Structure 1
Amino acid sequence: MMAQNSILDTMLSDMETAPEAFKPTNFWNSGLKPIVDDIRNLGIASFRTHPSARFFYVPGYDSKTYRRWHRILDPILAKLPPRKRKRWTTRLTHSDRARSDYRLYRASEQPGGLDLNKVSESSKVSGERFEFDGQDYSFAMLNYMRALNLLKREVDTSDFSSCLEIGGGYGTLGEIFLKAQSNGIYVNVDIPPVAAVSTYYLQQVFGAERVLDYSKSRTMDEIDLEDLKGKYSAVVLCPWQLPKLKGKFDLFANFMSFQEMEPDVVANYISIIQPLIARNVLVRNHAIGKKLAKKSNDIGVLEQVTTGFIAERFDDFDVLARDSFVYGALSEDGKYQSEVIVLDRKKAG
């Protein structure tokens, strides 16, 4: 197996000659160097604590103060009286917000379908997680699981066995899907360096032999889902490999990454993946679009992608449900609206 740094180097080298439609756009161009630098300088094993990761692909609950000074603050907190320690720990870690998200997840649970009760986040990689009812959860995991409850409310997911995702971050949906459906297969398509990170994480959780990495897939002329089933639980591809992917997936997902791309890039991705989706689409993105960059190479997008734009581009699908209040996120002033949408393939005729 090719070492992770070697895989990352190969991905980055291949990306230089990839078609423009599969390269990072303005938002991610601003993050590419700090992410790569953190991986090289701090090591991939600690990726969840990298400064760049928190901003770009590892969301969390804790405050900036606690994140920066936790090694100093933890011994101080340990010496406080129990009630005061709990109050300050909650304030710094925002564990109350995690509990609130967990309660929403539990309150919106749906019987049957994908068994999310089996899911607990792995502790093989360090990082922020909270324990509720004997299970561990991260910010990203609770976001996914609430959205999956909306999917389960609308469709029968009991026989879902395959999931395709674009922009899967460090692999959280893959962990959820494969723990809920042990015989399933999950394919994540993402740009480097994040593709290298998700490869590492999924290998830690499920074993290196169960994850098809870039060193093996980059020379394949065709990446056939049926050939991969049974051999692998997870597959991590780079975007320029997407046209080689063949087969039919039960579910396609995109969470918070279409919004970080430019509209023409999103439209191209959707045109390629629509024929690959047999049943449903689950997306969560900003309803009103990502923050605009003031100029090229600033953090932000040059042109916004809204959830309405995404739904319209999936023209082979009907919208079954959309929500921000329970399954997504909605600020009191309405300026932040993260909308979850469930789509269903239109019936022939």
Structure 2
Amino acid sequence: MVSASWNDLTERTLCEIEGVNEQFRPTNFWGPGLRELLHDLQERGLEEFKRWPTASFWFYPLYGDGYSPALSEELLDVARTSREGVNPGYFRAALSGSRDAWRDHDVASAWWNTERWPFDLRSHGESRVGRPPQAFPVTKDDSAVTVGRAYNNYLLVLAALSQHVDAPPSSFLEIGGGFGALGEILMSRDENVRYVDADIPPLLTVASWYLTELFGDRVTTCLDRPDAGPLTVPNSGVVPNYRLPDLEEDFEVFVNSFSFQEMEPDVVENYVDLVCGTGIRYAVSLNSREGKQRAAAPGEHGALDPVTSERIATMFARHGFEVAGRYNDPYVRSAGELLVMKRRG
């Protein structure tokens, strides 16, 4: 179950978000997700949030096609009846998605420009906090360091950024950071890095709890922060999305991974205006090339006016950013396009 303090954070921010500007409220795409996530939060608790029934669709993507270990073993028995010499390891890897996980981690490792940004990709992985349903070893002979799909997605995002920075970035701002995977990657490798995630409830609560479990008092949450006025996050933290205008610190890098595509254009435009006012030098976007499915009507599944990767680039261009790198296959094998944008001058 959810402790009183974390439950209070969820209830308070849900109440507050009802009274803010509409551009900070959950959009058409997120209406059903909000109700489903709140149900899982109350029924299943934070301790196993990575296994919530809603997790794989809304914030914890999985590799493979849903074959459980038990079902894989049943199918392996079937395969053995029709073909001699079936390789069990190859068979299980194909169904589990582990080959795709290895591929993504290998691409990030090979792609990373360690001269511009020294970074250890092998010694750190995703925490078992939250009970991840998938945990793939980063090397075939080491099961201690494991990763999931969200974790790998962020490694690819950062690998792309490494091609363009002049030195290791030290401060990051993210909108819609899910359970906080980007913060985990950065903070586990650099005790001095600043990372702030702005999100809607209840993912605000999930990321706050997760990063606090991992990093303790290095993480600022809004459990005891004022509801209005200037907002200071001296190190790293998680804040409500509607408090972005109150955030006092500047940042070097802004990141958005698969969440702008779920918003309406005016909402994204508002966020772009805000983050470009925080002094960022780089903006990194991993979002759909074509945009999310168009909703048949308000309240139906999908976006009313889908936001594409190119529209995001155009919004940043109005603030003096240019696309320094545009990456699709073979770096990113999905519907997403990875953009690294750099402020001119």
TM-score by length of 1: 0.88
Shift of 1:79: 9.1
Partner residue, 1:211: 219
Deviations 1:145-174 (A, max 9, x none): 11211111112242x211100000100111
- Aligned pair 1:109/2:112, yes or no? yes
Deviations 1:170-226 (A, max 9, x none): 00111111123221111000111111111111112112x22211222343511235x
Matches within 5 A, 1:145-294: 145-158=155-168, 160-207=169-216, 209-219=217-227, 221-225=229-233, 228-229=234-235, 234-294=236-296
Shift of 1:286: 0.6
Distance across 2 between alignment mates of 1:240 and 1:254:
16
Deviates more, 1:121-130 or 1:73-82: 73-82
Partner residue, 1:40: 42
Distance across 2 between alignment mates of 1:257 and 1:156:
27
Shift of 1:63: 2.5
Distance across 2 between alignment mates of 1:145 and 1:244:
29
Deviations 1:119-164 (A, max 9, x none): 3211233102211234321101111111211111112242x21110
Q: 1:78 to 1:151 in 2, by over 3 A?
A: same
TM-score by length of 2: 0.89
- Kept after mapping to 1: 8 A contact 2:5/2:223: no
- Aligned pair 1:129/2:135, yes or no? yes
- Kept after mapping to 1: 8 A contact 2:294/2:305: yes
Shift of 1:13: 1.5
Give the letter aligned to residue 123 of structure 1: R
- Aligned pair 1:139/2:149, yes or no? yes
Unaligned regions of 5+ residues in structure 2, if any?
none
Shift of 1:106: 2.2
Distance across 2 between alignment mates of 1:157 and 1:63:
39
Deviates more, 1:190-199 or 1:314-323: 314-323
Distance across 2 between alignment mates of 1:203 and 1:190:
16
Give the letter aligned to residue 282 of structure 2: N
Bigger helix fraction: 1
Shift of 1:74: 7.6
Distance across 1 between alignment mates of 2:110 and 2:223:
43
Partner residue, 1:324: 328
Give the letter aligned to residue 89 of structure 1: R
Distance across 1 between alignment mates of 2:8 and 2:72:
36
- Kept after mapping to 2: 8 A contact 1:77/1:89: no
Shift of 1:73: 4.1
Matches within 5 A, 1:327-342: 327-330=331-334, 336=335, 338-342=336-340
- Kept after mapping to 2: 8 A contact 1:218/1:241: no
Matches within 5 A, 1:6-45: 6-45=8-47
